[in-house]
Structure 1
Amino acid sequence: MRLAEIKGEYDGIFSLGELCLSSIQLERCGLRPFAGPLDWMSTPKLADVNRLLENRFDGFMDRDHLTYVDHASDKLLLVKENVYNAFSNHDFFVHRNTPALLEDHSAVKLKYERRAARLLDKAASAKRLLFVRCGGSMEEAIGLQKALSGLVSHEYRVLLVNHTDVATLTETAWPLERVCTVELPGHPDVIWKGNNAFWDTMLSGIGFKESL
């Protein structure tokens, strides 16, 4: 699938990680109408996201899934969701949580349940959805397409962005019916802001409309 084939209006747009970069770029371009469950988490392996979608977020962020890893900063704890290999560094504030107890867990869990329920509701009812993911192999992209086809009732598209040693926006056009794959320059100095013009190009011609 080519970039031209993902243009148009969508009833829902969701980030699927890998870091918060996808959400940041969607928000910067005015294409983040609501929060999704993976917006601000680290999900290093797309295969784990595929499994999470296949399981419809069952058990995601349950207390017995969580392990303190480190301090993400002087304000936040880094916590791992062990079953789905996801990392939270925006949820557990140091002044309200200890590594052993994670006192805010109940509120954090409810937040993720709400966001997961929103994604699942849109998957069941929306006529056209767009998912944006940074990072994934062709094998994982095939798995993502399979997972989403089992979850989404109507039409959807995926924009999968890999950061490599390319010098400019490059369409890789893997032979997938619903997944558009591209490569962007992957130098640490450009990933977060230096590629903004490329994101503008990729997301131009895409809009959000409220479902009827």
Structure 2
Amino acid sequence: MDLSQLKGEYDAIFSLGDLCLASIQLKKHNLRPYSGVLDWMASVELSKVNELLENRFLDFLEYDNLRVIGYADTFICVSDDGYNLVSNHDFDGEKNTLTYLGGYAEVMEKYERRIQRFLSEMNNAKRILFVRTEGTLEDAAVLQDVLSRLVKHDFSVLLINHTYVQGIVEKSWPLEKVCSIEFPNKDKWEGNHNLWREVLSGIRLRT
């Protein structure tokens, strides 16, 4: 799938990680009207995201799988070792400590709402775009397969890998639903704003 095929209107757009970068850029371009499940988490392994989606979020942030890592500014950094996810922005230091996650129920209520909204869009949206940073061809192929069973209607995936390139490089991956491109990895948080703008131009949320 090439970049030109991504253009047009979508009923829903979701970030699939791997960090907050995709969700930040989607919000910057008015393509993220609400938070998705993975917007503010570290989900370094796309294979684990595939597993999470395949399982319809079963055991997501299951208490017995959680491990407190330490402080992240005013928040408690917590790992979901079952899916290799890391939360830096959910467990605030007022309700949670390094030894007691007092705000766990509140966090789970928030994520349950996000999960139900996500799954509802999978069933009802006519066209969905998923945006992911970092992932191999092999994992992208599995993602396409998982989404083909999860999404009732049409979908596309924009996968951006940060490598030693100059500008935007389109990859000719043999995947019908995945558009794979590369961005420069130098200063990827602040140095590629114009590239994101170029890639996301012509992509709109249906209102």
TM-score (norm 1): 0.96
Partner residue, 2:177: 178
Deviations 1:53-78 (A, max 9, x none): 000001111211211012122x1111
SS, match of residue 89 in structure 2: coil
State the alpha-carbon separation in 1 of the partners of residues 182 and 104 from structure 2: 37
SS, match of residue 89 in structure 1: strand
Aligned AA for 1:70?
G
Cα shift at 1:173: 2.4
Query: Normalized per residue, which structure has more strand?
Result: 2
Written as runs of structure 1 = structure 2, the 5 A alignment for 1:184-195 is 184-187=183-186, 190-195=187-192
Written as runs of structure 1 = structure 2, the 5 A alignment for 1:91-102 is 91-102=90-101
* Paired residues of 1:62 and 1:109 also in contact (CA < 8 A): no
State the alpha-carbon separation in 1 of the partners of residues 205 and 156 from structure 2: 13
State the alpha-carbon separation in 1 of the partners of residues 67 and 106 from structure 2: 17
SS, match of residue 176 in structure 2: coil
* Paired residues of 1:70 and 1:77 also in contact (CA < 8 A): yes
* Paired residues of 1:61 and 1:112 also in contact (CA < 8 A): no
State the alpha-carbon separation in 1 of the partners of residues 51 and 141 from structure 2: 13
The reply to whether residue 11 of structure 1 matches residue 16 of structure 2 is: no
Aligned AA for 1:136?
G
Partner residue, 2:195: 198
Aligned AA for 1:10?
Y
TM-score (norm 2): 0.98
Q: Which runs of 5+ in 1 are unaligned?
A: none
* Paired residues of 1:68 and 1:77 also in contact (CA < 8 A): yes
Which piece of structure 1 moves more, 150-159 or 164-173?
A: 164-173
Deviations 1:104-147 (A, max 9, x none): 00010111111111111000111000000001000000010011
Cα shift at 1:20: 0.3
Aligned AA for 1:206?
I
Aligned AA for 2:54?
E
State the alpha-carbon separation in 2 of the partners of residues 8 and 94 from structure 1: 42
State the alpha-carbon separation in 1 of the partners of residues 106 and 92 from structure 2: 12
Aligned length: 207
Aligned AA for 2:36?
G
Written as runs of structure 1 = structure 2, the 5 A alignment for 1:36-185 is 36-73=36-73, 75-185=74-184
State the alpha-carbon separation in 1 of the partners of residues 193 and 27 from structure 2: 12
Aligned AA for 2:16?
L
State the alpha-carbon separation in 1 of the partners of residues 99 and 149 from structure 2: 38
Aligned AA for 1:116?
I
Deviations 1:147-171 (A, max 9, x none): 1001000000000000001011111
Displacement over 4 Å in runs of 4+? none
